Structure 1
C-alpha cells in the first residue's frame, strides 16, 4: 500500500504497477488462495457466460452468497486474469478465497464486454443470468445474497439494481431460498462527463447515444425505490474526475430521491482504483480494509 501514491491517481498509468506490486503478495499467499475449492459452470449460452464458484469449508441451508462483478472499463477483464503483471490465475481468485474463507459461497461471473457484443444493458443482464443460476442451484434453504461490483462491475451491478427492464430479476431474489441483502459499489464511474477522449469509442459501443440516460447516475435519477441497501466505497487515491466526483454525484442523487436510510459511504485510506479489490487475499489486515468494511456493513464481522 505504501507504494501506491507513487503510481499516481490516473487509472491507466496506475494499473500495471499496482498489479505488479500485488502480484508479489499474491504469490506469497498462493497456496492459501488455491486451497479454496473452485468449479466453473456455464450460466448462459454465450461463450462469455461462465462463472467461477468458490466453496467455503462448510455449506449449509443458510450459507450466505456473494456475487462479485469485476471491472475492466466495459471492454476488458476476466474472472481469472491469466498473465503478468498479475500472479497467474490468482486475480480474481483472491476474491473467491477471501470471502469463502469467511464463510461465503462466492460466485464470480464473466460477462459480455464491448468486443464480445456487450451493449447496454447486457452487463446487468449477465448479472441477472448469474443470479438465476444461483437461484436454480440453491432452490431450497435460506441464503442471504450480496452483490459486489468494482468499477465497470459496479456499473453492471447498479444496472441490475436500477434498470427497469430487469425488474423481474430483482423480484426473483426478494423472496424464496436466495434473498438479496445489499449491493456494494466499489469505485463506480457513475457518469462519464469528464471521461477522456480515449474512452469515447468504448462508451459509444456500449451505450450508443444514451450514455447520459443509461449510466448509473442516469438510472438512479429515474429509478423506482430500490429493493435493497447500497454500500458506496471509494479509495482516497481514486481519480477525482473519473471516479470520486461521479460516485459522489450518484450518492447525492440517491439521497435526494430515496433518503439516507439505504445508503452507506466508506472511504478507504491509502487505496487506489485497483488496490481495493486486488489487496484481498493477501492475508495482510491493513491491505484488506475493503473486506473488513464490507463484512462490517453486512453484519458478518
Structure 2
C-alpha cells in the first residue's frame, strides 16, 4: 500500500489542478494521497469530483506557522473545514499573502529585478499567492536557474534580501485549532535546513506535549542521517513518523510517491481524526460522507 500524505495543487502553489493531481497519483500507483494546499481547502471539491476508483483522498491543508521567529509548516489532516475558529485563522493567513507578495516584489525591484505583480499573479492563477510563485517569476526572468535557487539568503529565504514576513499562526495555537476541528497534526519537514532556520528538538518536544501527533521524517529535504534521527526522535516523544513527497508538480523536482507513509501510521491518523473521513474513489462525484464532513 503506497501512501503519500503531502501534495499541492493549483489551489495554492502546485502546477497540477486538483483533478490532475488525483489522476496522476492513481497513475503513479498510489493507493492514498493527501491534498494539503497552503492554508486552504479550496481544491478538495474538485479533487473529490475527479477521484478515480482505487485511490483514497485524505483532505487536509498545510498551515503556515511561526515559532520564535522561525517559519514552520504544520500539516493538518481530516479536520472539519467549516469549524469557524480554524477557518477564520486560515483566512487571516491567506488574506495577508497578497500584500506580502506586493512588498516582496517591491524589494526585488529595488534590487534591480524587473519583476511585476502582473507576472506573479499570472503564475499564481487562482491559487493562493506565495513565495514559490515569486520564485517561478525569477526563473522566468533568468535571475535564477530553478525555484530552489530562489530560496537563498540572496533572494527569498527567511531573512533574505527580498524576504517579507506574513501573518503566521503560533504552532501551539494551530495544534489547538486543528484538534478542536477534529483533525490530526504533523510537523512538516522539520529539519529542512536549506529552507532557513529550523526549530530545535526541544521545541518539538514541547509541541508533542501540547498534542502534536507526528513529524514528517521521510522527505526530500532530509538526508538519510536526518531521517534516521527524526525517526528516533519520534519514538522518543511518542510521535507518529510520516513520509511524503511534498509534490508541487513541475515547480519542484520531487515526484509523487517519492517518500511514503507506513500503512500502520496512516491507520492511526485516520483513527485519531473525528472531523472528516478519508474518501475512497469511485470515479464519480462525491460530496460528503455519512457522519463526518469530507470537505
> TM exceeds 0.5?
no
Higher-helix-fraction structure = 1
Give the TM-score, by structure 1 length.
0.34
Give the TM-score, by structure 2 length.
0.34
Which is bigger in relative contact order (C-alpha 8 A, separation at least 6)? 2
